[in-house]
Each structure stands twice: as C-alpha cells, then as structure tokens.
Structure 1
Amino acid sequence: MTLFAYKFPLNLVFRVFDIILVEGIESILRFAIALLKANHDKILGLDFDVLVEFLKDGLFEYYMNNASLFIQDAYNVKVTPRKLAQYAQKHQAMIQKQQADLAAEESLRETNKQLATQVQKLETSMSQLNKEHVDLAKELITRKVEMAELQDHNDVLTQKVSDLTKIVDSQAKEVEDKLKGEIEDVLRKNMEYLKKNEQLEDQLAYMESLLVETKMKYAESEIERDNLSRKLSDMRKALGMV
C-alpha cells in the first residue's frame, strides 16, 4: 500500500484502501495481476537487468494518466478464494517436487563423489599392484640369471670332476692318493652348488606362483575399475555433466 501511495494520487489510494477493507487482503492480488497483465508484453521483451529497473520505476506508468482504469482492470480480474487455494496447492506441490528433485540430485552427487573416490582408490591400488608386478618380474629375471650362472659353474665343476677322474684312472697308484683329496673337495663343492641350485629352483617356482597371483589380482582390479568407471559415467549422464 505504501507503493500505491507513492505512485498514485491520494484519492485513488483511498479507493484501493476501501476495496481492501471491504473485500479483504486477498483483493490486493487482483491489483498486482492487473499491473502484470497491463505490462505483459513489455515485461517479456526486457532483459533481466533492465527488467529489474522497470519493475522498480516503470511498472505503474501504464496507469499514470488513467488511474480509474487501474481500478476497473483490477475488478475484471477474477480471483476467488477457491482459485487462490488451488494456486497455493499447486505452488506447494511444485515446491515439494523441487525439494525432491534437489534431494535426488544431491544423492546422485554424493553417490558420484563416492564412486569417484572408489575409482581413485582402485587406481592407486592398481598402481601399487603394477609396481609389485614389475618388481616380481625383475626379481624373477635376476633369479633366472643366477640359476644360469650356477648351472654354468656346475657344468665347469662337472667337467673338472670328469677330467680329474680320467687323470686318476690314467695315473699310477701314487697319484691316486694325491688326487683323492682334491676330487673329494671338488665333489663336495659340486654337491654344495647342486644344493644351492635346488634352493634357487624352489625360489624360482615360488616367485612364478607369486607372479601368477599378482597377474590375477591385476586382472580383477581392471574389471572392478571398468565397472566403477561405467557407474561413474552413468552418474555423470544422470546429472547432465556429460
């Protein structure tokens, strides 16, 4: 009402007061609707920034030279309490729907955030598994090289034993006693290398089993990461982020 008094002559303001006192505060809605209808085309044609200024300063210009028309147009607006109740019900339903939509969107965002965190953790786990896989592969190569070196050394010792055996067989009895200790020493060393070679073979078999297990874990992680990536993509599509 202060706005009406500021924009219109006092006699018109008193008429508006009288209508509100007789018909109730709901009648002020008819005056508001009359203003909006009178400026309908102009309001729709304005940008937001210009519209704000228009609603503040130019909304009443249409009726400035014919204030009585304002009263007439307001009376022509048919707004019944039943209609107001329907509008209120629709407005409440719209608010509830918006709140439900916001809650659903927030839930989707939270789910999306959780999935993104899971994907990040999985990628970190996959990176660690990949590093372990590389380390095991390097260790396996090192063990194979050591085995090859031990095998070469074993072959040399075996050949030496064979050569010494031939010497013993071809030498006289006095040489046999002299070489016997050396042969026993060589045989002992050969047994030690054979034992070490057997241990390395056991280690190699263990490392190979670890490598197979790591590859299986890596493949399972790949499948889980793909599933989470698809879920994340679906969530982004549902949120309109794609």
Structure 2
Amino acid sequence: MAGDRVAFIVAGVQKGGTTALFDYLAEAPGLAMSDEKELHFFDNDVMDWAAPDVAAYHAHFPPFDGRLRGEATPIYLYWPQSLERIAAYNPAMKLVVMLRDPVARAWSHWKMEFARGAETQPFAWCIRQGRQRLFAAEPWGVHREFSYVERGFYGEQMARLYGLFPRDQVLVLRAEDLRADPGPVLERLRAFLGLAPSAAPAPREVHVGREMDYGAQLTDDDVAHLRAVYARDAARLADLTGVRFG
C-alpha cells in the first residue's frame, strides 16, 4: 500500500556529512531508518525499472508501524535517472540535500578514493586533466569514484531536482552547520518532516578522513582553479537555494 512507502531520502551529497546525519536520524523518535546507510536502490542501473523490486527495498526497513521510513544514499542527487526513479516510486517523497563547500568536498572525496586504492593519481591532476576519464565511462560522463569535480555542480543538480519535485518537498541543509551545531539543523529537518521537536543530540564526528601520507596538500592554486570552475554553477545554486560557499 502507498502508506508503507519510504517517506524521505537524504539524497546528497557524498562527503557532505550524510553519515553523521543518518546516525542522528537513526536515534531520533518517530523515524524508521533503513537497516544500513546507502541502500543504492534508485541508482541500480541493472534493475528492471518497468517493474522494480520494491519488496526487496522495503525489506531494509522495520515492519511498517506508522513511523516515517527514511534512508540516505548520497549518490542519488548526482547519478542519472535516480531522481526520476524516486519520483516514479513516490511522487510525495521528501528529499533532504546536505551540501558542503564543493572544494572541500572534492578534496575529501579524492582522499577517500586515494586511501582505499581506487585512485592513484594526484589531486591536482585529477581535477584538471583527470576529468577526461569520465568521457570514457559508462554511463558516459559520470563516474562513481572519479567524479571529484562533477559532484560539486550543485546548481545543476538542484535544478534537476526542482524540476521533478515541488520545492516544499525539498530541504537543503549545509554540512558545515550540522557539524558546528547539530541541534537547530535536526529541528529544521523534523519540522520539514512534520514531526514534533525532540532533545538535541550531542555533536559527533563520523567518517573522519584516514590519517596517512597523501603525498600532497590542497594548494591555493587548486582552490582557485576549482572556484573558477564552479563560479557559474555557484551563482545558479545561490539563485535557486540561497546557499553560497567560498
């Protein structure tokens, strides 16, 4: 029945504080979060989307008891067709988007991929010449690991999101605000979901970058390069959401 459908999704962005947010929500009253973060249901390109296996998706949640079901898979904002599939599954879905300064996000993303061995090239190369790798990817132009720059075009992604869902079904938050003071951010989210206020949790650090020698630092040249790359999109994001970085 429609009532047991997942009611909200944290749909973005990777390396944007979504793990901490998921942990806060897993402890919050009135919510039934998935049994694990990042279910990767709507970005599954091999599924038959004419008849998706919704039962398998719902199996990741407690038996429906009236609480709002929610999950967090931050690639959904970026990955082609994910948002369209979410809209087909539940047109009333509420989407939470956690944004982080795109330069800091790209650097954190690269460190994660480098630390786990998926990336072997230096950051400076990856955000310049390395972007050409996406043109050899499948689907064309996107990549799950090497999309350090591309995932930071928030204005473009938010425009697509607003083209599929009414604005009153979308809440945009900033990772920097959640980290500094989670209480007000979580109260905004609860109000967005139609839930009563609850006690503010103690701040926490989740998925802090691995301590190791990355062979490089984020340089002023890298920052300036990325600010220039993002300039037009950043203006678009500000026009759409009022959120500004840098």
TM-score (norm 1): 0.17
- Relative to total residues, which structure has the larger strand share, 1 or 2? 2
TM-score (norm 2): 0.17
Larger-Rg structure: 1
